[in-house]
Amino acid sequence: MAIRLTPSQLFRSQIRNMQRSGIDAFEAQQVAASGRKFNKPSDDAVGSQRSVILRELHGDVQVGRKKMDIARSELTMAESALAEMTNVVSRLKELSVQMASEVMSVGARANAAVEVTALKDVLIAQGNTRFGEKRLFAGQLTGADPFDAVGNYVGDAVGVTVQLPQGTSTQVTTRGDDVLRGASGGPDIIQEVDNLIIALGASNTAGIQAAADLMGQSVDHVVAQRTQLGARMTQLDNLDEFFSGLELNVGAEIAAVEEADPVAAFTEVTRTQQAFEVAMQVSSAARTPNIFELLF
Amino acid sequence: MSLFSILNQGSRSMRTATAGVATASNNVANANTQGYSRQTLGVEASGTQRRGGMLMGQGVSASQVTSAYDSFSQRAVLSQLGSNSYSSSRASSFEVIEANLAEGVDGGLASAMSQFFDDWAALESDPSSTASRQQLLARGQNLVQRFNSSAEQLGNEQSNAEARVGQRVARANILAGQIATLNAQIVRLEASGGRANDLRSNRTQMLEELSEIGPVNTEDRADGSVRVFFANHILVENDDARTLSVAADPVTGFSQVHIAQGSTTFEITSAMSAGSLGADINVRDAVTVGLLSSLDDLAFTLSTQVNTIHSAGFGLDGLTGRNFFGPLAATAGAAQALALDAAVVGTPDAIAAATTAAAVPGDNTNAAAISGLADLSLMAGATQTFGRFYGGFVAGLGQDAARAYQNEARSELELSGAKDLRDSISGVNLEEEALDMIRFKDAYSASARVLSVTTELFDELLRIV
């Protein structure tokens, strides 16, 4: 401390103290009012960087969960269609077993052929199941029905896969030709139904019996397809559980990085305001009494 | 000794006391004047005369008014003024830049970038959805605007710094001219003895303002003038002020500072290590250039990578070869020039989500590939994702800004310390002045009393006669 004290020194000191206290009070008010620990990068450079990265991750997880929701809806719809196909193929097996019996008349078989034809139409309709405008058994050609009126497959051979966060993915569409046309080695159900219709029309017992045998395999094939689809849904459920937890954790981490503790923030506001008021009071009192007032 | 001699002594003593009060009064009046140094009245005995065989004193007289100016502490103040002005101007620029680039809750560039890639991911889920495509176009436009706006605001700060360079050089020339004029006046007045204290105080004030503009050094000369160096080149010598000038750099187009030395001019831009001029040059040539370069790099790489994949894909209309962003010619200026390509603006079907035309509309592989760009290390020599690179950009800005604010606070303290030291030597202390006034007032009263007593002696003498 210098021995000689001048008004300029005193003035500078008072101004500096008041400004520092004022800035502290202002910053404390900003934190309390915004609820954020930092409002610009320089308040907390590392926190700002972490905030950017965490928010990006949070966004990724949220979008991933939305994609999973959509995928789950599509798979649920496809699963319903496969369940209906299972019922149809089971009925076809039942009919073919009944009609293969020697006791069945030609008329009964002709009537059965009508029912089988109707059931084939149901199979085709299920193969053309939509989610919105998206055909779920069309591979990538989701804009048009994958099966024509007689059951020819006009979709493509590529299933649609959706990328999920953390490097995971899931297939959301099923190839209709795999399910109904045996494209990957299973039975060609549409062809078998056509054969059954012909055999019923001709009252061909041997043909009907052969169809009955194959229908059993068809039921197993459709059930296997449902099982695969169910496995995908289970995978989605597991992923969603994981990402739900991740979303919560990342959200909590963002809050920890960005959000101010309200109690601490308001305590700081009170403390800095008091300091500011003290600085102002000290400044107003510092030069009284004035020596000129005392001496002259 | 005669009574008349005593009367003369008393009279001289009263004049000296009056001068003392006047000096104190002048000090009190200038107690808060920047650059003012406390003045002191020199008082000395008026000599001795032989009277009746005795050596008798002749009373008192004022010799000269001296200033408590201390060149060492003043030089320290000039140096700290330059340093403080540099830190303070630089901190102000960072405040503007930070405010413009703040992310905040509503989201800035980081948020826009994240949403953009998220929308590609959403399109992957439903590549035939027109709503998803329209949202992607809107978010793409938002990303473009964020880049444009950030680059524009940085460019504005750069332009403002450039404009200030010219203004500060003009002000420095005015101050140099005034210092040269004061030099001439001081030399002329002091040539016949004495000290032109008030003119010196005025000159100190000018030097302090000049120090706030650029790096200044001074050298006191015996004739009372001061030699002023600006960025290590002589700016003022005696009554001659050299001229600072600006000339556009042929490459950057920005003003470079020159100083005339005779018929030659020297470029001193890189020597501007202090003062607000130095800060403006630093903000213009380093701070904003660095930030703009990072933004340009990010905009260029992001748009190029997206375009490369997008142009190879197919839209809902089955067409290919279209960019998503307008192609950029170079990295420099990319953030400012970034725009959506005309082929996709208002045409959601042109967004290429599919890799093959035959697989439209269900093929989402191109959308997935573009969405996946967010997770690839494509920045900083293929070591960082876009998000991490921008996070680093924000952290770097925050650290630089925080350092600038800390430097400002530290230099303010250092300046205050230097001023306190100077003022403790040459500042006006009101208590001292008050006591000086009492001292001279008492001397005046005593001298007046001497005159009164002498007059009484005269009266006694006259009564005898």
pLDDT(A243) > 60: yes
Confidence at residue B255, expressed as pLDDT on a 0 to 100 scale: 96
Query: Could you tell me if B122 and B168 lie in one domain?
Result: no
For B161-172, write each residue's pLDDT tens digit: 999 999 999 999
As a whole number of angstroms, the longest Cα–Cα distance in chain A is 140
Is the CB of residue B385 less than 8 Å from the CB of residue B374? yes
Contact B401 A139 (CB under 8 A): no
Encoded tokens for B131: 């709503």
- Give percent of chain A with pLDDT exceeding 90: 69
Residue A283's domain comprises 261-296
Q: Provide mean pLDDT across the span B3-14.
A: 90
- Give percent of chain B with pLDDT exceeding 90: 80
Query: Looking at B280, B310, B329, which one is the last position of a domain?
Result: B280
At B49, the pLDDT band (50, 70, 90 cuts) reads confident
Query: What DSSP state is assigned to residue A10?
Result: H
pLDDT(A120) > 50: yes
Q: Which residues pair with A135 in a beta bridge?
A: A130
Encoded tokens for A47: 């926190």
Nearest to A59 among B32, B118, B412 (CB): B118
Domain holding A128: CATH number?
1.20.1330.10
Query: Could you tell me if A189 and A122 lie in one domain?
Result: yes
pLDDT(B28) > 60: yes
Contact B362 A140 (CB under 8 A): yes
Residue numbers in B near A141 (CB within 8 A): 358-359, 361-362
- CA distances A70 to A153, B319, B333, B389, Å, are 25, 27, 40, 31
In angstroms, the CA A226 to CA A79 distance is 6
Query: Could you tell me if B148 and B171 lie in one domain?
Result: no
Query: Could you tell me if B139 and B242 lie in one domain?
Result: no
Residue whose C-alpha is closest to residue A200's, from A83, A125, A101: A101
Encoded tokens for A209: 């019996």
- Give the residue ranges of DSSP H helices in B322-364: 334-337
The answer to whether residue A195 is domain-embedded is: yes
A71 Cβ under 8 Å from any chain B Cβ? yes
At B53, the pLDDT band (50, 70, 90 cuts) reads confident
Is the CB of residue A52 less than 8 Å from the CB of residue B103? yes
Is the CB of residue A159 less than 8 Å from the CB of residue A139? yes
Query: Could you tell me if B187 and B248 lie in one domain?
Result: yes
- CA distances A252 to A51, A239, A248, A259, B176, Å, are 12, 20, 6, 10, 60
pLDDT(A2) > 70: no
Confidence at residue A205, expressed as pLDDT on a 0 to 100 scale: 94
> Which residues, 6+ apart, have CB-to-CB distance to A104 below 8 Å?
A98, A112
Q: Provide mean pLDDT across the span A157-162.
A: 87
Q: Provide mean pLDDT across the span A75-99.
A: 96
Residue numbers in B near A49 (CB within 8 A): 391-392, 394-395, 398
Q: Provide mean pLDDT across the span A238-254.
A: 94
The answer to whether residue B421 is domain-embedded is: no
For B108, phi then psi, to 5°, come to -125, -140
- H helix or E strand, kind and range, residue B100: helix B71-101
Query: Looking at B223, B255, B280, which one is the last position of a domain?
Result: B280
Give the CA dihedral A22, A25, A31, A34, nearest 10 degrees. Answer: -80
Confidence at residue B371, expressed as pLDDT on a 0 to 100 scale: 94
pLDDT(A185) > 90: no
pLDDT(B218) > 70: yes
- CA distances A182 to A89, A128, A177, B221, B315, Å, are 14, 16, 6, 106, 32
Residue whose C-alpha is closest to residue B331's, from B360, B293, B372, B379: B293
The upper half-sphere exposure of residue B234, i.e. CA atoms within 13 Å in the direction of its Cβ, equals 13
Confidence at residue A98, expressed as pLDDT on a 0 to 100 scale: 95
The answer to whether residue A100 is domain-embedded is: yes
User: Is residue A259 helix, strand or coil?
Assistant: strand
pLDDT(B64) > 70: yes
The answer to whether residue B349 is domain-embedded is: yes
B109 to chain A: nearest residue by CA?
Answer: A52
Residue B177's domain comprises 74-96+163-280
Residue whose C-alpha is closest to residue B94's, from B269, B255, B336, B282: B282
The answer to whether residue A9 is domain-embedded is: no
Evaluated on CA atoms B69, B73, B75, B81, the torsion sign reads negative
Nearest to B387 among A34, A53, A132 (CB): A53
Query: What DSSP state is assigned to residue B380?
Result: T
- CA distances B400 to B67, B365, B393, Å, are 43, 42, 11
Q: Provide mean pLDDT across the span B298-320.
A: 97
Query: Could you tell me if B145 and B291 lie in one domain?
Result: yes
Query: What DSSP state is assigned to residue A165?
Result: G
Query: Could you tell me if A194 and A220 lie in one domain?
Result: yes
Nearest to A49 among B124, B391, B428 (CB): B391
Report which residue type is found at A2.
Answer: A
pLDDT(B41) > 60: yes
A168-178 in b/e form (b: 16+ CB < 10 A) is eebbbbbbbbb
Q: Which residues pair with B258 in a beta bridge?
A: B245, B267
Least confident residue range of B23-27, B103-107, B224-228 = B103-107
Chain A neighbours among B 75-104 (CB < 8 Å)? 94, 98-99, 101-104
Q: Provide mean pLDDT across the span B319-324.
A: 97
pLDDT(A174) > 80: yes
Q: Provide mean pLDDT across the span A143-166.
A: 90
At A16, the pLDDT band (50, 70, 90 cuts) reads confident
- CA distances A241 to A228, A233, A277, B33, B336, Å, are 20, 12, 54, 73, 42
Contact B395 A41 (CB under 8 A): yes
Residue numbers in B near A36 (CB within 8 A): 105
Is the CB of residue A53 less than 8 Å from the CB of residue B110? no
- Give percent of chain B with pLDDT exceeding 70: 99
Confidence at residue A1, expressed as pLDDT on a 0 to 100 scale: 46
Confidence at residue B142, expressed as pLDDT on a 0 to 100 scale: 95
Q: What mean pLDDT value characterizes chain B?
A: 93
For B108-153, write each residue's pLDDT tens digit: 899 999 999 999 999 999 899 999 999 999 999 999 999 999 999 9
Query: Could you tell me if A97 and A235 lie in one domain?
Result: yes
The answer to whether residue A164 is domain-embedded is: yes
Q: What mean pLDDT value characterizes chain A?
A: 91
Domain count within chain B: 3
Q: Provide mean pLDDT across the span B423-446.
A: 91
Q: Provide mean pLDDT across the span B25-41.
A: 89
The answer to whether residue A275 is domain-embedded is: yes
Confidence at residue B456, expressed as pLDDT on a 0 to 100 scale: 93
Query: Could you tell me if A95 and A236 lie in one domain?
Result: yes
The answer to whether residue A25 is domain-embedded is: no
Query: Could you tell me if B316 and B459 lie in one domain?
Result: no
Query: Could you tell me if B235 and B91 lie in one domain?
Result: yes
Burial of A273 (C-beta count, 10 Å sphere; 0-12/13-18/19+): middle
Q: Give how far A199 is from chain B: nearest CA, Å.
A: 38
Choose, out of B21, B118, B412, the residue to mutate when testing the contact with A (most A CBs < 10 Å). Answer: B118
Is the CB of residue B112 less than 8 Å from the CB of residue B432? no
Is the CB of residue B227 less than 8 Å from the CB of residue B239? no
Chain A with chain B: Cβ pairs closer than 8 A: 183
Evaluated on CA atoms B150, B153, B159, B165, the torsion sign reads negative
Report which residue type is found at B401.
Answer: A
Query: Could you tell me if A132 and A108 lie in one domain?
Result: yes
A96 Cβ under 8 Å from any chain B Cβ? no
Chain A neighbours among B 29-68 (CB < 8 Å)? 31-32
Query: Could you tell me if A288 and A216 lie in one domain?
Result: no
The answer to whether residue A11 is domain-embedded is: no
For B241, phi then psi, to 5°, come to -110, 125
pLDDT(A288) > 70: no
Domain count within chain A: 2
B338 versus B192: which is more confidently predicted? Answer: B338
Query: Could you tell me if B363 and B449 lie in one domain?
Result: no
The answer to whether residue A66 is domain-embedded is: yes
Query: Could you tell me if B209 and B246 lie in one domain?
Result: yes
In angstroms, the CA B80 to CA B86 distance is 10
Residue numbers in A near B397 (CB within 8 A): 41-42, 45
Query: What DSSP state is assigned to residue A212?
Result: H
A134 Cβ under 8 Å from any chain B Cβ? yes
Chain B neighbours among A 12-41 (CB < 8 Å)? 12-13, 16, 34, 36, 39-41
The answer to whether residue B225 is domain-embedded is: yes
CA angle A89, A92, A97 (to 5 degrees): 130
Query: Could you tell me if B86 and B209 lie in one domain?
Result: yes
Query: Could you tell me if A280 and A200 lie in one domain?
Result: no
Query: Could you tell me if B186 and B42 lie in one domain?
Result: no
Query: Could you tell me if B357 and B442 lie in one domain?
Result: no
Residue numbers in A near B419 (CB within 8 A): 8-9, 12
Query: Could you tell me if A158 and A220 lie in one domain?
Result: yes
Predicted model pTM: 0.83
The answer to whether residue B412 is domain-embedded is: no
The conformational region for residue B231 under phi > 0 = left, psi -120 to 50 = alpha, else beta, is: left
